Amino acid sequence: MSRETYVYDAPSGEVVTKSERARRQEERRVAAGAQPMRFDLPKMVQRGSWVFDRATGEVVPRDEYYARQAAQRHGDGPMLIRDDIGGGVNGLWHPAANRHVDSKSEFRRLTRAHGCEEVGNEQVRGYEPPPMPPVRDTLKAAMAQQGYL
């Protein structure tokens, strides 16, 4: 005798085998007018990350989607990073040179020329906790003072 798993079939209220329940569910779907759910999967599955593009209504590769989004925002040309501080700012005051500059590279050049160093772009060093004083002698002295030794 073969062993089978029994499950509860809610619409009929009976305990039946798994295969019988699957057969009944398919029968109910067909009776309700639903198409049988049979899928033919492709032989080869393409790996990757995909995004639904609302504009086209298609699923497209993620990299292609975000590249197209960036091109729409920034245009197809090269991106330029300006060296000047920008409009509305009266320049940066350099404390070592005691003057205002409008360029980030000029600010850095003046910093080096006056023997200073920019802080914030150095490598993070590992943390070493400070040395702890010996606790044993302190505990012995405190216990002796309280009369426990």
- 21 domain residue, yes or no: yes
pTM of this structure: 0.31
Q: Report yes or no on 115 lying in a domain.
A: no
Q: Give the range of the structural domain holding residue 19, as residue numbers without chain letter.
A: 1-35
114 domain residue, yes or no: no
Q: What angle do CA 43, 49, 51 make, to 5 degrees?
A: 110
Q: What are the tens digits of pLDDT across the range 57-111?
A: 889 999 999 988 888 887 777 777 776 776 556 778 889 999 888 888 888 899 9
Q: What is the mean pLDDT of the chain?
A: 84
| Confidence grade of residue 37 (pLDDT, cut at 50, 70, 90) | low
DSSP annotation of 103 reads: B
Is pLDDT at 22 greater than 70 in this prediction?
A: yes
- Give the per-residue pLDDT at 112: 92
29 assigned to some structural domain: yes
Q: How many CB atoms lie within 10 A of CB 21?
A: 20
Domain assignment of residue 13, yes or no: yes
- Nearest-Å Rg of the Cα atoms of the chain is 37
Number of domains in the chain: 1
On the question of pLDDT at 34 being above 80, the answer is no
Q: Residue 51 in 3-state DSSP?
A: strand
Residue 136 in any domain: the answer is no
73 within a domain of the structure (yes/no): no
Domain annotation covers residue 102: no
What is d(CA 56, CA 27) in angstroms, rounded to the nearest whole number? 38
The neighbouring-strand residues paired with 84 are 103
pLDDT digits (tens, 9 = 90+) for 111-120: 999 999 888 7
The mean pLDDT of 115-128, rounded to a whole number, is 82
Looking at residue 86, its pLDDT comes to 66
Q: Are 5 and 18 in contact (CB under 8 A)?
A: yes
